[in-house]
Amino acid sequence: IFMRLSGKTAVVTGGARGLGAHMCQMFAAEGAQVIAVDLGEMTYSDKGVEYYQLNITDAEGRKKFFAGTIEKYGKIDILVNNAGITRDAMTRKMTDEMWDIVIDVDLKGLFNLTRYIGPQMEANGQGAIVNISSVVGEYGNIGQANYAAAKAGVIGLTKTWAKEFARKGAAVRVNCIAPGYTMTDMLKTVPQELLDKFAAMTMLGRLGQPEEIASAALFLVSDEASYITGQVLSVNGGMRL
């Protein structure tokens, strides 16, 4: 049977649960060898998915992970930068710690991991990167200045890397998904009445399911998207914040 990711090595950060877990399992089902990178514990088991414990803000850990993965698999073909956190507060109440940790994980962590893996793809002549931004990075949101800044930054990185990693002719594509509100642990801190309001703000009248984000990621990393790069795909049921 035809599998879309046969022979590919895929790294998914934040792959232990939530959106990342769905991506890992979907990629493995399409024939990829998947490495789920996460600082938290694994929440499922799948023979095509290997768990690697790493906090993406840890410089030594990142180096060790990259060197070890290249030694073991020879190359990384697919990277999904999905790990992310929120620490919400109104701007006047936002502490330095809340600002710093969200920028450190959602923006700097993503940059620092990709600064190894992107150039490796370039040297290898091919690769696909998907960065996970957010509807909040596109439109802003009350109480999420740190997160909106980081997620808007992810869009800038996507467009920059799409140019940089392909500039010498390598078939390296870099795209971004901006999910709307999707049912995962990340929404546990959001009050139900706000979730209802967000659902009502979509054209489809509901929140997203993790599979609906994962299948967009699968499309973008597969050869079906071979002429798509530098784009932001908004997967949000038709939402405008």
Do 68 and 50 meet the contact criterion of CB atoms below 8 Å apart? no
The answer to the question of residue 18 lying near ligand NAD (CB under 6 A) is yes
The answer to the question of residue 234 lying near ligand NAD (CB under 6 A) is no
> Quick one: 105 or 129, whose CB is closer to ligand NAD?
105
| Nearest Cα residue to 31 out of 5, 62, 64 | 5
The answer to the question of residue 182 lying near ligand NAD (CB under 6 A) is yes
Residue 14 to residue 210: CA distance in whole angstroms: 13
Shortest CB 150 distance to ligand NAD, Å = 9
The answer to the question of residue 40 lying near ligand NAD (CB under 6 A) is yes
The DSSP secondary-structure symbol of 76 reads -
Q: Which residues within the stretch 122-181 sit at the binding site for ligand NAD (CB under 6 A)? A: 132, 134, 179, 181
Shortest CB 38 distance to ligand NAD, Å = 4
The answer to the question of residue 196 lying near ligand NAD (CB under 6 A) is no
DSSP string, 25-62: HHHHHTT-EEEEEESSPP----TTEEEEE--TT-HHHH
Residue 174 to residue 225: CA distance in whole angstroms: 11
| Nearest Cα residue to 177 out of 111, 96, 81, 106 | 81
The answer to the question of residue 83 lying near ligand NAD (CB under 6 A) is yes
Residue 90 to residue 99: CA distance in whole angstroms: 11
> Quick one: 38 or 122, whose CB is closer to ligand NAD?
38
Residue the block writes with tokens 């507060």: 89
The answer to the question of residue 57 lying near ligand NAD (CB under 6 A) is yes
Shortest CB 169 distance to ligand NAD, Å = 31
Name the residues annotated as catalytic: 147
Residues in the site for ligand NAD, rule: CB under 6 A?
13-14, 16-20, 38-40, 54-57, 82-85, 105, 109, 132, 134, 179, 181-182, 184-187
